[in-house]
Amino acid sequence: MSTPQLAKRLGVSKQRVSALEKAEVDGSATINSLRKAAEALDCTLVYVILPRDSLDAIIEKQARKVAARQHAYATHTMSLEGQSPSEREQQEALDAAVAELVRTSPKELWDET
């Protein structure tokens, strides 16, 4: 379909169609303008946000970040008191904290600090 033909279907100028095409390429097109263009082309606009990984993996990764921050502080405090846990104990504690965070999924899990 030519630019003049699409402009006629949309009820806009050829320049507006060119601007819409440019906006689509540079990422500044609005969802509403894309929806109108899709309707003019007898199409349906589908807007999707797809996770790069499974939801479970995303939650576990975030829980591990939060637990690692919490355990780094606790481990540092314990080492200052001469009570450093072994590497194995640290890993077990970290894994347990991750499992608890995943199980309870508190809202704070997504806070960035």
> Percentages helix, strand, coil for the chain, rounded to the nearest 5?
70, 0, 30
Say whether both 100 and 65 belong to one domain.
Answer: yes
* Average of per-residue pLDDT values in the chain: 89
Which tokens hold the place of 5?
Answer: 């033909």
pLDDT at position 18 over 70:
yes
Inside any domain, residue 48:
no
Inside any domain, residue 49:
no
Percent of the chain with pLDDT over 90: 68
Inside any domain, residue 103:
yes
Inside any domain, residue 11:
yes
pLDDT at position 113 over 70:
no
Say whether both 33 and 60 belong to one domain.
Answer: no
Say whether both 59 and 29 belong to one domain.
Answer: no
pLDDT at position 106 over 80:
yes
pLDDT at 77: 73
Mean pLDDT of 24-50: 94
Domain that residue 81 falls in: 55-110
Is 90 in contact with 75 (CB distance < 8 Å)?
yes
Q: In this predicted model, what pLDDT tens digit does every residue of 61-88 receive, in sequence order? A: 999 999 998 888 777 776 766 777 788 8
Chain centroid to Cα 82, Å, comes to 41
